[in-house]
C-alpha cells in the first residue's frame, strides 16, 4: 500500500512482481530486450543501463529501480517543457502514480 496525495493505493500485480525481482536480473533482461529492438530497427549504437555491482547495489529490488527511473524521467520531461525542474514531493507515490504524472505532462 502507498499513500500519495491523501490516497492509499495498493500496488498492482506488475509492481509486486518488480518488488520480487532482483535489480541485476531486471536490468539484464531490459538491456537485452532493448538491444533486440534497436537491432531490429537497424541501429548499430545504443545505450544500456549499467550492470556493475556499484550501480546495481543502489536499489533493493527492480521496483525501487524503476520508480527512481520514472521520477528522473518526470523531472527531465518537466524541465524540457517548462524550463526548470519540478519541486514535486513524491512521498510514498507508487510507480503507477509517477507514470500517470508523466503521461499527464505530455
Q: Quick check: 91 pLDDT over 90?
A: no
pLDDT the model gives residue 47: 95
Spell out a b/e string for 2-36, using b for 16 or more CB atoms within 10 Å of the CB, else e: bebeeeebebeeebeebeebebbebbeebbeeeee
Q: How far apart are CA 27 and CA 40, in angstroms?
A: 20
Q: What is the per-residue pLDDT across 3-44, written as a single tens digit (0 to 9) for each?
A: 555 666 889 999 999 999 999 999 999 999 999 999 999 999
pLDDT the model gives residue 2: 60
Amino acid at each position: 500500500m502507498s499513500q500519495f496525495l491523501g490516497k492509499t493505493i495498493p500496488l498492482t500485480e506488475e509492481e509486486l512482481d518488480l518488488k520480487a525481482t532482483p535489480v541485476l536480473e531486471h536490468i539484464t533482461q531490459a538491456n537485452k530486450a532493448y538491444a533486440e529492438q534497436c537491432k531490429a530497427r537497424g541501429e548499430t549504437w545504443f545505450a544500456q543501463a549499467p550492470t556493475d555491482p556499484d550501480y546495481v547495489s543502489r536499489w533493493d529490488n527492480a521496483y525501487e529501480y524503476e520508480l527512481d527511473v520514472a521520477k528522473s524521467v518526470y523531472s527531465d520531461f518537466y524541465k524540457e517543457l517548462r524550463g526548470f525542474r519540478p519541486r514535486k514531493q513524491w512521498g510514498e507515490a507508487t510507480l503507477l502514480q509517477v507514470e500517470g504524472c508523466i503521461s499527464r505532462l505530455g
